[in-house]
Amino acid sequence: MTSVAVISSILTLIAGIGIFLIACQMMSSNLESASSNRLKALFSKASGSKLLGVGIGTVGTAAIQSSGATTVMVIGFVNAGIISLTQAATMIYGANIGTTITAQIVALGMFGGNSVSTTVIFSAFAGIGAFISLFSKHNNGKLLGGTLTGFGMLFVGLSLMSGSMEQFAELDSIKLFLAGINNSILLVVIGAILTAIIQSSSVMTSIALAMVFSGLISLDQGIFLTMGSNIGSCVVAIIAGMTSGTNSKRTAMIHLIFNVSGVIIFMIAGTLIKALSGGDITYGTMFQHMFPGAPQTQLAMFHTIFNVTTVVIILPLTTLLVKLVTAMIPDAKVEEDPDAPRLFYIDKNMLKTPPVAVYQTKSEVINMAAIAIDNFNRSLDIICNMDFSQRSKFEAQERELNYLNTHIVDFVVKLSEAAQISKKDHIYLTTVFRTVRDLERIGDYAENIVEYAESLQHFSSGFSDDAKSEIETLREKINSIYKYVMQAYTNEDIAAFNKANEIEEEVDSMTVMMEENHIKRLSEGICTPSVGAQYLSLSSNAERVADHFINVGKIILSYNTVR
């Protein structure tokens, strides 16, 4: 084999890795979009039992074909305070199981023998998918085409990698060099380093499969490289965790400890088995007996059994693991202000999984609406009772509304750029800009009402009992509008929105009635002009609050019929 051929083989390997990585990304993005609603429903149940957490992590990773994306998303959930460290740990366990699907698919593609290779058959899906994407007029057809194209390209990349390995296998010098690397710890380190560089354990495992299949390395060597890839896969999570809060760092550390523990357990067990058998039994010989004549299946099955067994061993110890990482990464000594503005449901790490990020954005908007109505009610309590003890809480929530207005918009701008978002989700995101502005304006009107209370305090005045009764009736109607609007917004319930509209018309009529009653009280000398001015301003602001809530509900009409 000439030097030109060696260079050609190296370039072919690089090309294969590149196509494989692009294929993984293409499959992941299209599968995410296609399973958008299912993913939302799946991760909304993230607060259940430990086994449920493992199941969610497994299914979610199998669906989007990326354990890295799942882990980063889990870190985002932890950072936003949506799930606990314990639940995050179990979801990461599941992600490790889910990622073994890729290796099984790759191993399946290596069968063929003298007949048409399954690699060639599966590679043809790239062309089929491209034609579907090109000629399909519907979004679902394009997603199907994109998924099939990515699936086919996966095997095109695998074919290139396998071809380069076969060429390397012809070189005695390379075979002798690789055969000399028998130290299991060194192989694990090599696997970890290469995975950290590539940032994809799926690619590293697939390279190991191709090397074993071509005879370039032994099954035992491939097994240790694969174990190393599990450690190297933690790099993505560590990077995401180190740039976020304390619990995010702990989640990344849980991922690292879990994967390293699995490798240590299996290496110790492997060493004992080999020693007790006098060197006759290794993981390689065990899996060769279990799956004879199929080296690719032998390594893929080890990969699956390795991850499943590690989960079975570590799962009962999860509580202890959480306590360990909490001790290793203690809370910051500086106490955080509980009233400091923050995001409750979204985190930049969630941008890695757009469909789930859209779902969490909606939760954030719903939470912002809850803060807005709470502050509106608090403003009415202040002005009716002239009780300013709630002023500090009111001001904290007003700051929160302003903060959410800015940061939700920033998040949605970044999220809107993602290719994995469905047409309906994209339309929804365009409405968020208007919605958060409406909610922020509700906060401003509540702030106006508190200022009217301060004015009344200055004149040592207050509303009459009749005026307070009218304000209380108005409050009840606006809270009913809020209830029906949120029902409409959350469930895309047109009937609930129509009910809110009906009540809003009652609010309009009532504010007219309040003005008439005020004039009557003024003529009877029951209230003064200065008090009356604040009363009329309050009713006007309250009416606008109702209008802004109706605007929030109205946006569902723009995407309710989109599927």
Q: Which of 281, 312, 328 is the last residue before a domain boundary? A: 328
Per the CB < 8 A criterion, the answer to whether 534 and 470 are in contact is no
Residue 510 is part of which domain span? 353-558
Tell me the C-alpha distance between 88 and 250, whole Å.
10
What is the pLDDT, as a whole number, of residue 114?
46
| Separation of first and last alpha carbons in the chain | 57
Residue length, the chain? 563
User: Does some domain include residue 121?
Assistant: yes
Give residue 54's Cα distance to chain centre. 16
| Same domain (yes/no): 415, 544 | yes
What is the pLDDT, as a whole number, of residue 115?
44
Q: What are the percentages of helix, strand and coil residues in the chain, rounded to 5?
A: 80, 0, 20
What is the pLDDT, as a whole number, of residue 435?
96
| Same domain (yes/no): 76, 125 | yes
Per the CB < 8 A criterion, the answer to whether 88 and 77 are in contact is yes
User: Does some domain include residue 192?
Assistant: yes
Q: Which tokens in the block code for residue 489?
A: 């917004």
Query: How many angstroms separate the Cα of 403 from the Cα of each of 77, 103, 135?
Result: 20, 45, 45
**493 CB contacts (<8 Å, ≥6 apart)?**
487
| Same domain (yes/no): 119, 192 | yes
Give residue 206's Cα distance to chain centre. 26
Tell me the C-alpha distance between 547 and 550, whole Å.
5
User: Does some domain include residue 476?
Assistant: yes
User: Does some domain include residue 342?
Assistant: no
| Same domain (yes/no): 408, 270 | no
Instruction: Please tell me the number of Cα atoms within 13 Å of 345 on its side-chain side.
Output: 18
Domain count, the chain: 2
Q: Which amino acid, one-letter code, is at 134? A: L
User: Does some domain include residue 19?
Assistant: yes
| Same domain (yes/no): 276, 316 | yes
* Three-state secondary structure of 291-331: CCCCHHHHHHHHHHHHHHHHHHHHHHHHHHHHHHHHHHCCC
User: Does some domain include residue 148?
Assistant: yes
Tell me the C-alpha distance between 447 and 15, whole Å.
61
What is the pLDDT, as a whole number, of residue 47?
55
Per the CB < 8 A criterion, the answer to whether 363 and 433 are in contact is no
Per-residue DSSP letter, 558: G
Q: Which tokens in the block code for residue 35?
A: 């399973």
Provide DSSP, 446-490.
HHHHHHHHHHHHHTT----HHHHHHHHHHHHHHHHHHHHHHHHHH
| Same domain (yes/no): 315, 438 | no
Per-residue DSSP letter, 504: H
Tell me the C-alpha distance between 86 and 543, whole Å.
46
Q: What is the largest CA-CA distance in the chain?
A: 109
| Same domain (yes/no): 512, 424 | yes
Blockwise average pLDDT, block size 10, the chain, 563 residues: 73 82 72 60 62 84 72 75 84 90 81 58 84 80 82 79 69 68 90 82 83 87 93 80 76 92 94 90 93 90 95 93 91 62 84 81 94 96 90 93 95 84 86 95 95 83 85 95 96 94 94 85 72 86 96 86 60
